[in-house]
Amino acid sequence: MFWKSSKSQENGKDIASWSITIRLVVLYTLSAAVILTLTTGFLYWILETNIENADQRFLNDKIEVLKSISDETHPGFERLKEEVQWEVEAYQFNRYYARVLSSNGEILIETPNMSSILPVSIFSRTKDGIQSAGDTREWKSADGEHYLLMSGQVAPSNGGDGPRLVQVALNVNSQQQILADYFHALLVVLGIAILFSAAAGAFVARKGMQPLAEITETVKHISATKLQERTQPDRWPSELTTLARAFDEMLDRLESSFNRLRQFSADLAHELRTPINNLMGQTEVALSKTRSADEYLEVLESNLEEYNRLSMLIKNLLFLAEADNNSRELSKKELAGRDVLEEIVDFYDLLAAESNISIQINGQANLSADPGLLRRAVSNILSNAIQYAPADSTISISLYRNNGRAHIEITDEGPGINQEHIPKLFDRFYRIDPSRSTELGGTGLGLPIVKSIMELHEGDIQLSSTPDQGTTVLLTFPAN
C-alpha cells in the first residue's frame, strides 16, 4: 500500500515537472482527439441511420405495392406473381424477398427458395402466436447473412378469403459491408488526424513558447558583471509583457544594488586603509629604535584614537547593514518630543559653548519612535550643525505637528551646501570636503544613518540649504 502511494506521488511529480510545451501538446492533442472522435462518430451514426431509413423505406414501398396488387385481384393473378417471383431478380445490389400468406397462415405465393432461406416463423409474432404486421427487425442466418424483415397486413376490398399477411425481407450484407468499410476508414483517418494534430500542436506550442526561450537566452547572459542586459518587453506578446517588464525592473534594482555595493566596497576599503596605514606607520616608527616610556605612551594614545575611529566605523556599518536587511527591531514608544530634544541639547551644550553657539528649542509635540534611534538621528544632525556653524550663531530646533505627522526641523547658520552636493549627501562615505571631514573625525555615514533610521520608522528626511545662509534638515515621523 505504501509502495502504491509512493508510486502515485512519483507519477504526480513527473507530470508536474513536464515542460509547458509538452503540456500544451498533450492538452491540444487530447482536445483534438475528443473533437475528432465525436465528429467521426457522428458522421458514422448519420450514415448508419440514413442507410437503415433507406432500407426501411424500400421495404415499406414493396409492401405498399404488394398491398395494392393484392387488393385488385386474387393471388394467382399474373401481376402479383410477377412482383413476388420475378421482380426481385431485377435487383442485384438490393436482394429482397416477398411472401403472401392467407389469413390461416397458408403460403399463397413467395419468392423462389424463400422458405429455405427465410422461414415464416422468423417474422414477428404476437403473444398469441399470430403473425403481427408493421414490425421491422434484423435477423442473421446460419450462414452469416444479415436480413431486414418487415410484415404488413392486407384486407382486400372485395372480401375474398379474408385478410392476408405480406412478408418482405432485404439482404443488407452490402450495407453492413459499406458501414464496416466506412468505420475502418474513419479509424484510419482518425488516427492520422490525431497524429497530425499532435505534430501541429507541437509546432504551434514551440512557436508560442519561442518568446520564453528568447527570454531564457537573455537571462543566461546576465551575470554580476553583465547586469545591463534587458528583455525588451515591447516586442513580446501581451501575456508576457508584464512578466518581461517585471523582470527588467528586477534587473534595474539588482544593477543599482550591485553598483552601490561596488561603490560601498571601494569606499569601505578606502576608509579602512587610512587608519590601518596610520597604525602601521606609527607602530613601525616606534619599533625602529628603542624609545622612552613616554614616547611609547604617546604612540599608544595615538593608536587608541585610530582604534576608536575604526570601532565607530564598524559600529555604524553594522547598523546600516541591519537597517538594510530589516533585521533591526524597533521599540516604539509614545514620547514627549520636547523632553527628548532637551536631553540631547543638554549633552551638546558644552560642545556648543566652546564656539559660543546657542541652541534653541521651539514648540512641543508627541511622537511615536524608538527612543534610542531618535536620539541618534537628532544627535547626528545636531553634531554636524555644531561642527560647521560659525561662532556666535544660533541653531534652531522646531518641533510641531502637521496633518497628524510629527516634524523636527533643525536649522543652522553655517556656510551652507551647494545644490549639486545635496542629492549625494545621503550616499555612504560621501563628503563635500574629504580632507576637512577627516580632520573633524567624520566618516561620511552620519546622514546615511539618519536616513536609515527614518526609513525604519516609515518616515522621511529632507535637506535644504543655501550657500552662506545655512542648512535645514526636516525629520518627518508618520502619524500615530
- Bridging pattern class, strands 333-336 and 366-369: antiparallel
Is the pLDDT score of 158 beyond 60?
A: no
Q: Tens digit of pLDDT for each residue in 87-122?
A: 656 555 567 888 888 777 788 888 888 888 888 888
Quick check: 17 pLDDT over 80?
no
Contact 441, 431 (CB under 8 A): no
Task: Enumerate domains of the chain plus CATH numbers.
Answer: 73-172 (3.30.450), 233-323 (1.10.287), 331-477 (3.30.565.10)
Task: Please determine, for residue 360, whether its predicted confidence score (pLDDT) is greater than 70.
Answer: yes
Note the pLDDT tens digit of each residue in 258-295. 777 776 677 667 667 777 887 888 888 888 888 888 88
pLDDT of residue 2: 45
226, pLDDT greater than 80:
no
Residue 123 pLDDT: 82
* Statement: residue 218 has pLDDT above 80: no
pTM over 0.85: no
Residue 398, C-beta contacts closer than 8 angstroms, at least 6 positions apart: 362, 363, 407, 408, 409, 411
CA–centroid distance for 292 within its chain: 76
Asked if 165 and 106 count as a contact pair (C-beta separation under 8 A), the reply is: no
Cβ(317)–Cβ(445) below 8 Å = yes
Give the per-residue pLDDT at 467: 87
Q: How confident is the model at residue 38 (pLDDT cuts 50, 70, 90)?
A: very high
- pLDDT-derived band at 131, boundaries 50, 70, 90: very low
If one compares 158 and 352, the residue with the highest pLDDT of the two is 352
